[in-house]
Structure 1
């Protein structure tokens, strides 16, 4: 490590499930692999997964306490391993990078790593976000709620010069996840997509991405705060309060708009399910025309009940979507920069992470971000 680096850093630690974060000083984390890079964290975004993990609802994670959360952050390269890999050496000290949670130290030779299987979000052989042996920043290992973090050079994406770290951090999970889900819809400009949970962290970014892709977009939510946020974006998407309009009513209106009466050809071409809600899932599937795609991003503990009738008689495809590869990550960042896609954020200093968590549970939508410049 560079001699100018401090010996200690501040980090926000979880010491047990269902507890508040505790700010304290610890030694700087060590680099142990040629792929390792030390970044000075500039911004760290709070994700729903952080809340789930803190409540003990992700079995087996974290592996041990105390634990530093956050798997979507951005920072500045400050040090390399003493003999860096080619991927690591391509990133210079001072470079600004975005850091997604997956995948830290993939094995490189398992079924997934040898030959990536995902046709939409494909990495080069030897590295896969689906590697079952990889770690995850902020989940299985320490993450971005600290002044410094060790990351894998193969995870990273350079931040476009037109974007700040605070703008980049939310895109490292929320952005890449909804962008990859839209790619899985395999739609052409002019086709229709619905986003269930359109005012949340992923949803409000999805409205922006989808409309900038030339799609006709319906955003659906049922809470006042997220609905206000979705409407304030002025993306041109049709924003629907699910409490006021049924899926059947919406489909009928789409049929009138198109001059069609056959139920099979009326509705959306694809829908993305973001809430952990069976009601949202059912609503979204009802919006689909026959042969439509339902892309599932959320994963409630009890799963979703799927109608065999919809799958068999309507040929509805149910597709899962996790995150995206490094290739898609970089594509997403460039798309965001070129099309002015940004998360609606509210910033807090690292010292006030617990206040951020309280704000998160109010459910107002958008993204909450730790901006470490506020502590310095």
Structure 2
């Protein structure tokens, strides 16, 4: 099934396995995966980024459909193509550097999501026959194996060429964190000069969002409630206003913004849209409190017990609430090009594959930014 001009490959590879929930990853050697579908591509993984969802999955909280164990995590990674199936897209060739998101691998192509294509309500959807929202697809690193390994089989329909100016580690973080916050910003439906808030601005998605939003010409307010993420957000040196939620309450901030804009009525003061990234009711309430009347709240996080929503905000203030998961492959390619053009890059710490458990320990410190496995680093 593979082309004949592929480079010679080793017989085995190293991979990090989650053998049981709430346990460390286990590094061991296994055979290199083989191509099984006409759309398959084999890549040598160059970088694999750690996401909050990896932590949720490892804790056994990926409900109602936890993965089967043992499991190879990571749904945002990047690599180099080393083999292609005969039916893989002609857009790719051996040696291409690509980014790989989690969704969607081996989509059914026929469900209502795959059949829909672009619509007036969703102009950024992929053409009919493929959808990141397919109801019967695999998700690399979640329902299927992901990028915490040296080689991975991916679907040629789900990947994108990495711009030359983006290193593998920079590309990897854009495959979930990047495209997710970029898509959430698009769902805010704002024009340059309007105001947007990012709750959780010092985290992996949040600090990328600060950069994307300011480069889009939006006036940005970033909010966090811990010293390290707040300092990380301030160190980006964007024109965003960074707010410590422990010190400034939402109502005061909204009034200050309104006065800056020459507004007289409290209902007209505040943000046009806000993006909720933390799994925190306080964070959700703070974000909604920053909105002006008729504002939009875009929810990205999905806490196990959900959020309490004030009917008064929805009815009397006409606040709209929408969810945002990931972006289409069209949006993913747009994210990569925008990041390359505007030099949007994550603040990150890198680790070799053998030290994935050290990376996880670092993640739980909650210091913000992104943590990435860089396959080029020595053990």
**TM-score band (shorter)?**
over 0.9
Does the CA contact (< 8 Å) of 1:75 and 1:97 recur in 2? yes
Would the aligned equivalents of 1:120 and 1:184 in 2 still touch at CA under 8 Å?
A: no
Which of 322, 325, 337 in structure 1 is aligned with 2:340?
337
How far residue 90 of structure 1 moved from its aligned partner, in angstroms, is 2.1
Q: Does 1:201 align with 2:195?
A: no
For structure 1, list consecutive stretches of 5 or more residues without a partner in the other structure: none
Report the more deviating stretch, 117-126 or 295-304: 117-126
Shift of 1:263: 1.6
2:66 & 2:96 partners in 1: Cα distance? 30
Residue 26 to residue 60, structure 1, CA distance change in 2 (3 Å): farther
Task: Tell me how far 1:281 sits from its aligned partner.
Answer: 0.5
Cα offsets for 1:241-297 (capped at 9, x unmatched): 000000011111112212222122111000000000011101100111111100000
1:312 aligns with 2:315: yes
Once the two structures are overlaid, the 10-residue window that deviates more, 229-238 or 63-72, is: 63-72
Distance 1:358 1:61 in 2: 25
Does 2:148 align with 1:148?
no
Aligned partner of residue 374 in structure 1, secondary structure: coil
1:132: which partner in 2? Answer: 135
**CA RMSD across the alignment:** 1.2
Partner of 2:248: 245
Question: Is residue 14 from structure 1 mapped to residue 18 from structure 2 by the alignment?
Answer: yes
Aligned mates of 1:304, 1:319 — CA distance in 2: 13
CA distance in structure 1 between the aligned counterparts of 2:63 and 2:218, rounded to whole angstroms: 38
Q: Which residue of 2 aligns with 1:235?
A: 238
SS at match of 2:376: helix
Which of 150, 163, 188 is the equivalent residue of 1:185? 188
Tell me which residue corresponds to 1:298. 301
Shift of 1:60: 4.8
The alpha-carbon deviation at position 63 of structure 1 amounts to 3.1
Tell me the residue number matched to 1:51.
55
Matched with 1:90 is 91
The residue number in structure 2 matching 1:5 is 9
Structure-1 separation of matches of 2:301 and 2:67: 22
Alignment match of 2:164 (pick from 157, 161, 166): 161
* Divergent runs of 4+, >6 A: none
Is contact 2:77-2:173 (8 Å) kept?
Answer: yes
Distance 1:251 1:48 in 2: 29
Query: How many Å apart are 1:61 and its aligned residue?
Result: 4.5
| CA offset digits 1:64-94 (Å, max 9, x no partner) | 211110000000000012x223x2x321000
> Is 1:323 the counterpart of 2:363 in the alignment?
no
How far apart are the structure 2 equivalents of 1:63 and 1:144? 15
Distance 2:162 2:185 in 1: 22
Query: How many aligned residue pairs are there?
Result: 373
